[in-house]
Each structure stands twice: as structure tokens, then as C-alpha cells.
Amino acid sequence: MAFDKMELRDIEVWDGNFAAAQALRQCQIDVVAAYPITPSTPIVEGYAKFLADGYVEGEFVMVESEHAAMSGCIGASAAGGRVATATSSQGLALMSETLYQASGMRLPIILNLVNRALASPLNVNGDHSDMYMVRDSGWIQFDAYNPQEAYDLNFIAFKVAEDHDIRLPAIVNQDGFMTSHTAQGVKTLSDDVAYGFVGEFKPMNDMLDLDHPVTHGVQTEEDWHFEHKARQHRDLMTKVIPKIEAVFDEFEKLSGRKYNIVEKYDMDDADVAVVCLGTSVETAREVAKEMRENGIKAGVVGIRVLRPFPFMQIAEALKDVKAIAALDRSSPNGAAGMLFNEIAGALYNTGSKALLSGYVYGLGGRDLTKTHLRDLYKELQANADAGKVTTQLQQFIGVRGPKLAFL
Amino acid sequence: MSEMKKIKNLKEFSTSADRFEGANLLCPGCAHSIIVREILNATNDDLILSASTGCLEVCTAVYPYTSWDASWIHIGFENGSTAVAGAEAMHKALKRKGRLKQPDREPKFVSFAGDGASYDIGFQWISGCMERGHNIMHVVLDNEVYANTGGQRSSSTPIGSSATTSPAGRISYGEKKNKKDMLSIMAAHQVPYVAQVAPNKWKDMVKKIQHGLAVDGPVFINAMSACTTEWKFDPKDTMSISDLATDSLVFPLYEIIDGHELNITYRPKNIVPVEEYLAAQGRFKHLFKDEYKYLIKEWQERIDAQWAYLQRREEARV
């Protein structure tokens, strides 16, 4: 490493954006191509400042749009180096075309996605509509619940994505403002230890190997397209989860911090459980603890890896519960919620008799309060006692006006 | 800077080792392949290439084949310029870090795109690359139409041309707007070099490509690419149509250095009337009806005015 190292304290007070920027610095990204958008902007601003201060040696390409940001990242990654960017919401929507191209070319780009609502109406605050929008784009998706995890999961994402058996891009999600702008104590790794963990980038089929020209991004029609897509899917379905688990283990040995594909909280003997992701996982854990003091055996299942969707791990985590709430922080726009559908799919053939209901919450940055969750757990208990879903299957919680419930 | 390739004559030039294979799916008579071969043969430099979605892309990299013996990438319709800019940024970063596999070689970065992918959908990306000063060359294969999707008008389609979305008909003479002046727009980015080239003037092409690859900074090349399918002429006539275009001054050959210094690089000894250029192509056939003949006169006046303007600018040296 030729860059100047930065002395960090064991615990620094960082928000999620700065934690991600520090991780990118410690991974020594070769090229960042980016375009600013709230609330993700401080990530690339942080990287730019590290560059200005001599703490990284890469190239920062300040492009004219998010579509160009990912286009530049794709060209840079195909040229054979470590590449990252960050965006949110409308920015992700604009670059979404290129996300499919990055994964189809098997380029291990890391995107820090600071989750934010999609317009219209225009809204800069956090929800998961952007994360869900690109869930079929072939990117691995991690989800961080706090700044510590936003920091740690970047290292893990690079190590998984760049593995030559995987070679797929990855998104690290964090909640807009709630994580990205909330400062907390973050346990740090030293520069040497962090870089040692991710390792030097090892190129494969790189355009800059001038003696071995390569063709990237070819055309295929019905004769080959299906094979390419099917094999990409096979690798996502069969190789990625074991690889992530191995990297989680390695990271635990390094840092003492243990991550799981799904994060179970008080699930050993739970009768009722909430499944969610993002900052709401931590709120749900607090409330579950409280519910147990009041005689309701409550648990929480946090989704850590949204893609590939961990069907088996979800089914295992929920196998003994009587009633489940799937919490979706995105407008379902004419369907059951995304998590509702995927959890239903995971459980359908397992013999589980659990009652599943869906809750839509927190759109556009609306708070999910403990009161909401207390009421929700009580409803789940009522369902469990009655042996049927006692409300409509889908409820919007925390929205003003008359109660909204469907299905 | 690497040694410039010395090219003595057309025979030697045309028999240079190919980095772009004749084995491709382009139409017989397509000028794209001629232009690309001329550009690649103009230099011995290592090349990193991109192609935007378009005829060139879909006809030269159909899995499991490739016509390219140089690294090549395609992403989408609009972003070939930015793809190559990303690769150029990575080259800079790896060079600084001492991680290049062949550190003694300086590859050049070139993106190819059609007029649709340059004048229209890819305009913003190219403008961004020019403004940021990437060391890349963007080449437009300007066939004045969306040829790959079957002949729809682009903002490069000239007035009076019949295209599938601006067809000539009972009450219409076809395209109503004149061609966008991309060279002036690109020159206004104050980039080191912009030029217009045509495949029939191969020496002029080689000179401009060698100059463009040698300068430090973004370069924009607009190459006239006669399209047998959409311009509607016999495939054997590609070069004679190209000659008519340059000799009628419909497609004048010139360059602009540092955004202001304009040089005309080809002055036809005998200027051909525009009418001859139009008459040679099916896309302008309807203009020869009595009611539209005034448009041919207007064409000639426009070309004369443009030529006079180019000469004034060259003379003024500003």
C-alpha cells in the first residue's frame, strides 16, 4: 500500500455514510464514478476528501448523471480494478438499466445504496422502494441496520463479489437518514487489517491486459441468452450464500462481530415473529423484549441478505412460530408486500402452519414507533390464539386518516 | 507518445494486419466496416474500444464470435463513451499504483457510436466526457439515420430525406429539420481536437486519426458513413456516393483545434452540384418531383453558405 494510512481510534463516532466512506478508503478503491444524490452524497464526498488529503490513490470521476456513474463503473471494472459508487432513490432508478448490464458482465462493483423513497411525490427520506425496485437485477444485496454494519458489510461485500467463483456486483443497503445521518459509535479496523481482509484486487478477463484482448457485453439472442441468464442465476442460487457464510465467519474471526444470512432474535421458542429489514429490526428487537416481559413469546427475524433471497434460512428461522408479520417499507402498488410474497413462497411447502399477515409501514421516512409494534405483536398473538388471521391480510400502519386494510 | 505508423500507399494500408475482421454481419457496402478498418489500421497503438448499441455492435460481437482483436466493451445505446472513459480512469489509477500488466505500453481509448447514439440518446454522456477531459476519442459513424432499428429519423437526418418516421408522402417531403451541427457543439466544449472525416479520403482520415490519438484530451471525430440500406443505393457504389458527398461539399472535411482554429483539409478541384449527390440516393428520390424541386435549390444555397462560412472561419484564424 502506497497511500498514507489514517490513524483511527478503536471506536469512532460515525454516521452510516461516513462509515461507508471509511470502508471504501480502507479497501483502496481504484475508481469511483459518482453523481450526488441525497441522502447518499456524503459517501462520495468523503471519498473525494480522502483523495484530496492523500489517503487514497484512486481516480474519482465526477460524472454528469447516475446513469453515467454506473456506466463509468462498468468500464472501469471491466478494465480490471476495484470499483464502487453510491446512490439513492431516483439516482438508482436512472442507473437501473446499467445494473443489469453490470451483473450480466459479471463485474464485481460495489454500490452503497442509501435507501430512499421513489417519487412521486418527491421525498428525500428513507424507505425501501429503491432497494426493492432492483431486486431482480442480478446484484447481491446486503442490508445494514446501523452505521457499524454499513462499515463492516462493505468489506464483506467486496470479498464476496470479487471472489473469482462469484464475480457478481453487490449492493450494501442502509436506511436513508435513519442510518446514513445518525452518528453512533463504530468499532474500527486498522487500515492494514482492513486491507488485509479484502486483499489486493485480482483481475480476471480485464481489458487492460493488452496481450489478451477480451470482448465484453456481447449480443446473444434466443440461441444463448437463456444459458447466460440461467447460469448467472445458478451461481446466485447455489454459490453466493455459502460464500457469504464463509466470509461472515472470516470476518467474525477478524473482528469478533458475527453476521448471519438471517438475523434471529429470541426465535428459539417464539410463538409470534416479525420479519423486517433496515433500522426497524432494532426497534422490533426492543419491542420483542418488552413483549416477553408481558407474556407474549415474541421474536424478530432480520433479513441480512435480500438477494439471493435466503429461502431455506427464512423457513428454518420461522419453522415453529404460529403467527408471522412481514413488514414492508415500500408501497406494494397493487400487490401484497414484497417480503410478504417472498416469505409466503419460502414457507409454502415446508409444512409450516404459521399465519402470515403483511404490514406496510414507514413510507417516505415516516417513523415506525414502538406503539405500532406493540399493537402488531398483540394482533399476531390474537391470530395465534384464534388459529386464523383475525384482520385483513394487508394493513397500512402509521398512516393518517381512516384505517387502510386490504385483501 | 508512441511512434506514428508510417503508411506509404493504399495497398500497404489495406493489407495491414487486421484488428477488425472482415468476418462480420454488416451489410455488403456498409461504410462502417471500411471506416473502422481505416481507423484501426491508422495506428499501431494498443487500443481499448467500446461500441454503443447499433449496427456496428450487433454485427461484430454476436456470442460466441467476435470480430475484434482488441479489448472491446458494449454496455448500452447511450453510454459507450462513458464506458471507455471509465476504462481510461482505471488505467490512470493502476498506472499510478504500479499495477499495470504492461506498464511500458500506453493504450488509446476509442468509442464508436452511430449518429443516434451520439447526436441523440448518447449526447449527454459524450458532452460529459468532453467536459471532463478524458483522454478518449469518440467516433461517430454518421449514417444520418437509425439504421439498426430500420431507418427512423435521427437529429442527424438531413432535410428532405425520407426516413420511416419522417416519410415522404402525398403531402410531405419527408424530414423537416436540418441536420444538427455536432462538430460546432463539440468544438464549443473547447476540446483539443474535433474533425470530420470520410472513408473515401483515407489519407485525410489517417492523418486526423493519428493526430487525434496523439493529443492529450478528448477528441471527437464525425465520420460520414454511407448506408446502402437506408440511403438506398447499390452496395457497389459506397465509395462513389462518398466521393459525391465530399466533392459536393455536403460533407466538408475539416478540423477544429482547441475549439477555435478551423482548418479545411480537403478542397475539391471540381465542386459537384448537390443535385448529383441527391439524385444518386433513393432517400431523396421524391425531391425531384416538380413541387419539391425548390428544396434542391435550397439545399445548394445552404451548402454554399456553409462552405463560405467554413472558409471565412479558416481565414480569420479565430
**Smallest Cα–Cα separation from A114: which of A36, A25, A32?**
A36
How many angstroms away from the CA of A394 is the closest CA of chain B?
39
**How many CB atoms within 10 Å of residue B317?**
9
Interface test with A, best of B66, B82, B96, B108 (most A CBs within 10 A): B82
Contacts of B124 (CB under 8 A, 6+ apart): A64, A65, A68, B78
Quote the cell numbers at residue A180. Answer: 446514513
Contact B155, B120 (CB under 8 A): yes
Chain A residues touching B62 at Cβ < 8 A: 218-221
- Give the C-alpha separation, B20 to B277, whole Å: 30
State pLDDT tens for residues A240-271: 999 999 999 999 999 999 999 999 999 999 99
Chain-chain contact of B75 with A71 (C-beta, under 8 angstroms): yes
| pLDDT tens-digit map of B38-93 | 999 999 999 999 999 999 999 999 999 999 999 999 999 999 999 999 999 999 99
Quote the strand ranges of A207-296, DSSP E: 215-216, 262-265, 272-276
Give per-residue pLDDT as tens, A3-55.
789 999 999 999 999 999 999 999 999 999 999 999 999 999 999 999 999 99
* Nearest-by-Cβ selection for A220 from B48, B63, B75: B63
Report the gap between the CA of A202 and the closest CA in chain B (Å). Answer: 10
Smallest CA–CA distance, residue B195 to chain A, in Å, is 24
Selecting from A71, A209, A219 the residue whose C-beta is nearest the C-beta of B83 gives A71
**Pairing state between β A140-143 and A215-216:** unpaired
B116-145 burial, b at 16+ Cβ within 10 Å, e below that, comes to bbbbbbbbbbbbbbbebebbbbbbbbbbbb
> What is the pLDDT at residue A303?
98
Task: Determine the average pLDDT of the residues in B174-200.
Answer: 97
In one letter, which amino acid is A272?
V
Q: Chain A: nearest CA to B118, how far in angstroms?
A: 14
3-state DSSP call for residue A238? helix
- Separation CA A278–CA B238 (nearest Å): 61
> Three cell numbers at B5?
505508423
**C-alpha cell of residue B280:** 444518386
ipTM of the complex as predicted: 0.97
pLDDT at B1: 46
- Mean pLDDT for B190-199 is 98
- Three-state DSSP string of B139-159: EEEECCCECCCCCECCCCCCC
Cβ neighbours of A211 (radius 10 Å): 8
Mean predicted lDDT score pLDDT of chain A: 97
Cα A398–chain centre separation: 24
Residues from chain B contacting residue A219 (CB–CB below 8 Å): 57-58, 61-63, 74
Flag whether pLDDT at B15 surpasses 80.
no
Q: What is the pLDDT of residues B276-306, one digit of tens each?
A: 999 999 999 999 999 999 999 999 999 999 9
B74 to chain A, any CB pair closer than 8 A? The answer is yes
The angle subtended at Cα A108 by Cα B124 and Cα A48, nearest 5°, is: 60
Would you call B236 an interface residue with chain A, using a CB distance cutoff of 8 Å? Answer: no
Among all residues of chain B, which has the CA nearest to that of A3?
B97
Strand-pairing partners, residue B73, are A216, B50
Q: Please report residues of B whose CB lies closer than 8 A to that of A78.
A: 73, 83, 86-87
* Residue A153: band (very low, low, confident or very high) from pLDDT cuts 50, 70, 90: very high
Other beta carbons within 10 Å of B110:
29
d(CA B248, nearest CA chain A) in Å: 38
d(CA A44, CA A87): 9
pTM above 0.95, yes or no: yes
The pair phi, psi for residue A367, each rounded to 5°, is -70, 145
Query: CB pairs under 8 A, 24+ apart, for B164-168?
Result: B168/B286
> Is the N-terminal amide bond of A147 cis, ω within 30° of 0?
no
Nearest to B89 among A31, A65, A101 (CB): A31
Stated as kind and residue range, the H or E segment containing B300 is helix B293-316
Which one is predicted more confidently, B304 or B6? B304
Nearest by CB to B61, which of A58, A61, A215? A215
Contact A71 B87 (CB under 8 A): no
Q: Tell me which chain A residues have a C-beta less than 8 angstroms from the C-beta of B63.
A: 218-220, 224, 228
pLDDT above 70: residue B241:
yes
Backbone angles phi, psi at A176, to 5 degrees: -60, 135
Q: How many residues does chain B have?
A: 318
In the prediction, which pLDDT does B2 show?
A: 57
* CA B61 – CA B315 distance, rounded (Å): 45
On whether any CB of chain A is under 8 Å from the CB of B136, the answer is: no
